[in-house]
Structure 1
């Protein structure tokens, strides 16, 4: 008989990945069939969808993210309510497709503070794994960021190591840009695995705002009737203010060298109020404001690449909700007219499921006992296994 650890490595596993990002627009769910060991793995996406939050729960989450005070008892209730929604989303997959071997749940980030001097980073994800395993009866990995933080890292970004395994190319330098509530990039040098099983050094960091400022603008300017700029419709009708974009690009975070991470605490409600006041002072219309914030998001990504990459990529692959905004994608393409800019679908990974797929892989690695962080990306002292494993 094989030892138990070898059986783990040999087994093809059906893993559900779950995450709700900083846009708080719902729970992204992916069922992934995974086999292999470490960097040498294959991942086949069997199913993917987004489960929207109930409106009242979404507003409670956004209130916490905006820094509104909340009693600890209410926070505990919110934690349990989010776990319930995550469990329901996973159960939908199980009901449709049959039993799974593992659930990997990132949960819902409500607070993220990067490393500050001698202070460790601090990151809070609600929707605890112990509640999921009790509801689902399936081994569950959660709390992915804490081990990296304990090792002195930012706890973010965590997806670059998965990008390396699933999206690297033998001849091309690639940037994989996620545009969720916050933007983050993975820089992948060319990697021919047949020639070099050892992967190259990759880079990754949070580039700044993704959809966060645009979403807040839409909710504010529509008086709560809209939560995002569907198909970039408002941005397409407005004219960006280049002077404001130039001013906003001076934000200190955007000039801070990696490794670095950020969140709504920096590019959320408070910063939007600063942008909104400046736009009103210049007499911008609502559509002009959205157009300006949309181009600003693309400009932060471009500035980040030109400031911190060793070389520009041969291609840019985009995931997250931002890749469904044609105006934002057009601005990003205009920043790099010689470089193809496409959703990650062009490389075989469904853009809408990308983050959920990544956490399915990170959960699989936790099951195998394989490190899931990249110290060069997060700033941690060493590579560590990520996540708490909860058994039924």
Structure 2
């Protein structure tokens, strides 16, 4: 058994999710027990700095280095704090903080390499130095180097922990960005049939809208209550669904570069002609998240899932969950909590598993999900 810390901060930049887990077994046949969990908010000034960089603000190289260090220090502190009661971690898997993500561009030309690029700050060597614990970080780079999107990286973990012998499942994470893992029955050549990609906006647009509509007093719509009090503007949803990203077949990945500050500004502008109040606008944005997920399922899945398991912060948005259930009809919509995997910390748990696999010599990516040319070991290892 190995005690591992998984560290994750997503596109919502809410804070650092830390999961302390015990892992045993090999490759897909592993057991994971969640020992401790906690979310450590970023200091407000650091969060604002990260968000401004994600929005495209130019910074100098000294400022860049300072930001990288500040994030690493915050991640290291999270790793130390999660062990206050339960000690003994010998490994950290740190996703870091994504500040830029560019998927592979188009078709490769004769003299050009059109690989993707993804940048996560919070460098592993500093986390190792501050904690004294071997750290695996920079997980996306190896998949990108062999032609993959570098995202999503959780499908292989989902396959190991949530596959079922008789049930077709979709694991739908709703963080800032939504991503899906389609898992067929665990029989035959099932692993090669898994699919995964980013479905589009999760909470990113909703959180930005709530912050603006509340004059900065709120950062998210708790339980979706504000949106639930409004009316959906279907013509606007239909217009937004024509975005090229939704139409593009997988493999595909995205981030705040596409569904961030510029896009929410566009959404506000396009909503003006419909004279929506704040609740109506949020109801319509929520419907975009729900409808875009279902659109991806109907157009790109091999089969309709029998069950959808939600995770991530959006899984706690009761209104969003209700809209997904309504749109999916007979498909059961629940959360990973009901199947033994904490919905709030699943992503942090996943990077603990990916670090464990890196040390174990097992590949972490699924080419059928990321589009990579081959399976590879994920992450750079920094020994204590």
Shorter-normalised TM-score: what interval? over 0.9
**Are 1:298 and 1:328, in contact at CA under 8 Å, matched by a contact in 2?**
yes
Mapping of 1:148-167 within 5 angstroms?
148-167=143-162
Please say if 1:389 is aligned against 2:381: yes
**Separation in structure 2 between the aligned mates of residue 66 and residue 202 of structure 1, nearest angstrom:** 33
Contact 1:189 1:200 survives alignment (8 Å): no
**What is the aligned counterpart of 2:91 among 88, 93, 102?**
102
Q: Return the offset for 1:208.
A: 0.5
The reply to whether residue 341 of structure 1 matches residue 336 of structure 2 is no
Which residue does 1:16 correspond to in 2? 5
- Whether contact under 8 Å (1:191, 1:200) holds in the other structure is no
Q: What whole-Å deviation, never above 9, does each CA across 1:365-390 have from its counterpart, x for those lacking one?
A: 00011110011111111100000000
Asked whether 1:89 is paired with 2:70, we answer: no
For residues 252 and 140 of structure 1, what CA distance do their matches in structure 2 show?
38
For 1:163, what is the secondary structure of its paired residue? helix
* Partner Cα distance (2:225, 2:319) in 1: 8
Which residue does 2:126 correspond to in 1?
131
Q: Distance in 1 between matches of 2:171 and 2:317?
A: 17
> 2:327, 2:41 → 1: CA distance?
33
* Paired residues for 1:1-392 under 5 Å: 12-117=1-106, 118=108, 119-192=114-187, 199-392=191-384
Structure 2 length normalisation: TM-score?
0.97
Q: Shift of the alpha carbon at 1:151?
A: 0.8
SS in 2 for 1:186: strand
Separation (CA, whole Å) in 2 of partners of 1:259 and 1:105 = 24
**What's the CA shift for 1:200?**
4.8
- Checking the alignment, whether the CA contact within 8 Å between 2:192 and 2:368 is kept in structure 1 is no
CA distance in 1, matches of 2:326, 2:149: 32
Give the 3 Å change call, closer, same or farther, for CA 76–82 of structure 1 in structure 2. same
Task: Compute the displacement of 1:93 (Å).
Answer: 1.7
Unmatched segments (≥5 aa) in structure 1? 1-11
Assess if the C-alpha contact under 8 Å between 1:173 and 1:190 holds in 2.
yes
Runs of 4 or more consecutive aligned structure 1 residues displaced over 4 Å after TM superposition: none
TM-score (norm 1): 0.95
Match of 1:6 in 2: none
Deviation at 1:169, TM superposition (A): 0.5
Contact 1:315 1:341 in 2 (8 A): yes
- CA shift for structure 1 position 280: 2.0
Distance 1:352-1:374 versus aligned 2 partners, 3 A rule: same
Distance 2:82 2:234 in 1: 46
Mapped partners of 1:310, 1:197: distance in 2: 15
Q: CA deviation at 1:94?
A: 2.0
How many Å separate the matches in 2 of 1:288 and 1:209?
A: 18
CA-to-partner distance for each residue in 1:113-133, whole Å, 9 max, x for gaps? 000023110101011101100
Look up the match of 1:4.
Answer: none
Pairwise CA RMSD of aligned residues?
1.1
What is the count of residue pairs matched by the alignment?
Answer: 378
| Counterpart-to-counterpart distance in 1, 2:308 and 2:226 | 25
SS at match of 1:96: coil
Q: CA deviation at 1:222?
A: 1.1
Distance in structure 2 (CA, Å) of the matches to 1:180 and 1:59: 18
